[in-house]
Amino acid sequence: MAQTILAQTSSDREVIAPALREIAADWSADQEVFRHTHWGKAMMWIFLLSDTFIFSCFLTGYMTVRSSAVLPWPNTAEVFALTIGGQDIPLILIAIMTFVLISSSGTMAMAVNFGYRRDRRKTAMLMLLTALFGATFVSMQAFEWTKLIFEEGVRPWSNPMGAPQFGATFFMITGFHGLHVTCGVILLLIIASKVARGHYDRTGDYSAVEIAGLYWHFVDLVWVFIFAFFYLW
Amino acid sequence: MQDHPPIASSAAHEGQQHPISLYLKVWGLLFLLSAMSYLVDYMHVQGIVRWTLIVTFMLLKAGLIVSIFMHMAWERLSLIYAIMVPPLLLLVLVRIMTIEANYAFWTRAIFMGGGG
């Protein structure tokens, strides 16, 4: 009995130790683990990973101040309501913004697909459409901020509706996300113009479209979490 | 630059050819899920049902975006692990901050007369 266990552990050691060494060797040399992955794509994913941590810190900070606030948290459904045709529709602006951003993600996914098919015209057009959706999103966010600051009197340190922490987290989280969308629109316009001018046909490598797409989808992904935790919670 | 022909890197991407209909389907699903999470608020669903629904729809949407739109479903396993495992650490941060927030709340409520 003891012998079999001993034999087993020693054989395990013989198998596991070299396997672990192999894993360490593969991962300590990027050319092994990420072989066949475009370097730009791997780098973009690692950047997005770091961005995930930034946004997660914001959202965790929001969770902390919200659950430790003594005053009641403002009702987001009412704060972000719009009066359309004499009727108060709760959260409607945020819902429209969500649909706009999802649509932009859809057009971007198709742009990447047409990029692989070397369809220069369709790729550039779809990227331009994506940028247009992105610009629409940022404009609506600017409208939302203006309304909140000038009509509702929300400040980073206080607001008339309740817990003063509301303003700080709102401006921080949506502001940082809006900045990401703005950068994304600029990036998309640059890549789209390069696509249109045939730059990637000359190099034979359309990866830049997919890499820009990864960033854009990430911006949409972050919004999914902001929408759920900040606006709907 | 001549040593690394661009063909080598783009050849690996030839596998990323999916029909456009796939993207349209995912797009439709994302619309549906967003509409449903909006309806949770519109119908004034409250309490644990609300939070469960919101988180479920959120995770489904996030999963669709990452796996289909960002092509994670077709990536090498090493890249999937490198990107998807580290964020799990955030659960530790969330746990620590929940304890901290609880402490801050009761300190305020008991010793600061319930005021901010």
**For residue A147, which of A185, A174, A181 has the smallest C-alpha distance?**
A174
Averaged over A158-170, what is the pLDDT? 92
CB interface of A with B, residues 108-137, below 8 Å: 108-110, 113, 116-117
Q: What is the pLDDT of residues A53-69, one digit of tens each?
A: 999 999 999 999 999 99
- Given a contact cutoff of 8 angstroms between Cβ atoms, the answer to whether A15 and A8 are in contact is no
Low-confidence stretches of chain B (pLDDT < 70) are: 1-16, 114-116
Which segment of A6-10, A159-163, B107-111 scores lowest on mean pLDDT? A6-10
Q: In this structure, are residues A189 and A104 in contact, taking their beta carbons and an 8 Å threshold?
A: no
Q: How many CB pairs under 8 A join A and B?
A: 168
A-chain residues near B58 (CB < 8 A): 224-225, 227-229
| Angstrom distance (rounded) from CA A85 to CA A122 | 39
SS3 of A62, please?
Answer: helix
Residues of A in Cβ contact (< 8 Å) with B20: 110, 113
Give the per-residue pLDDT at A225. 96
Distance from CA of A8 to the nearest CA of B (A): 29
Give A187→chain B minimum CA distance, Å.
17
- Predicted pLDDT at A18: 86
Q: How confident is the model at residue A26 (pLDDT cuts 50, 70, 90)?
A: confident
A91: alpha, beta or left? (left if phi > 0; alpha if psi -120 to 50): left
Evaluate whether ipTM surpasses 0.95. Answer: no
Nearest to residue B34, comparing CAs of A231, A210, A148, A99? A99
Shortest Cα–Cα distance, A47 to chain B (Å): 10
| Three-state secondary structure of B3-51 | CCCHHHHHHHHHHCCCCHHHHHHHHHHHHHHHHHHHHHHHCCCCHHHHH
- Please report the pLDDT score of residue A16 as a whole number: 86
SS3 call for A89: strand
pLDDT band at A165 (very low <50, low <70, confident <90, very high): very high
Q: Are β-strands A82-84 and A87-89 bridged in parallel, bridged antiparallel, or unpaired?
A: antiparallel
Chain B residue with Cα closest to A232: B41
pLDDT at B12: 45
What is the pLDDT at residue B79?
Answer: 87
Left if phi > 0, otherwise alpha if psi is -120 to 50, otherwise beta: which for A204? left
Top-confidence residue, A11 or A82? A82
Residues from chain A contacting residue B10 (CB–CB below 8 Å): 204-207
Q: How far apart are the C-alpha atoms of A128 and A125, rounded to whole Å?
A: 5
pLDDT in tens, A62-114: 999 999 999 999 988 888 888 887 788 888 889 999 999 999 999 999 999 99
For the stretch A201-227, pLDDT in tens is 888 888 999 999 999 999 999 999 999
Q: Which of A56, A90, A232 sits opposite B37 (nearest CB)?
A: A232
Dihedral (C-alpha) B99, B101, B104, B108: value to the nearest 10 degrees? Answer: -130
Give contacts of B109 with chain A, Cβ < 8 Å: 70
Find chain B residues with C-beta within 8 A of A205's C-beta.
6, 9-10
Q: What is the pLDDT of residue B10?
A: 41
pLDDT of residue B11: 41
Average pLDDT value over all residues in chain A: 90
Spell out the alpha helix ranges (H) of chain A: 2-28, 30-33, 39-68, 76-79, 92-116, 120-146, 165-196, 199-203, 207-226
CA Rg, chain A, in Å? 24
Q: State the maximum Cα–Cα separation within chain A, in Å, rounded to a whole number.
A: 84
Report yes or no: B87 and A53 within 8 Å, Cβ to Cβ. yes
Q: Do B13 and A214 touch (CB under 8 A)?
A: no
- Contacts of residue A15, defined as CB under 8 A and 6 or more positions apart, other chains included, come to none
Which pLDDT does position A31 carry in this prediction?
A: 66
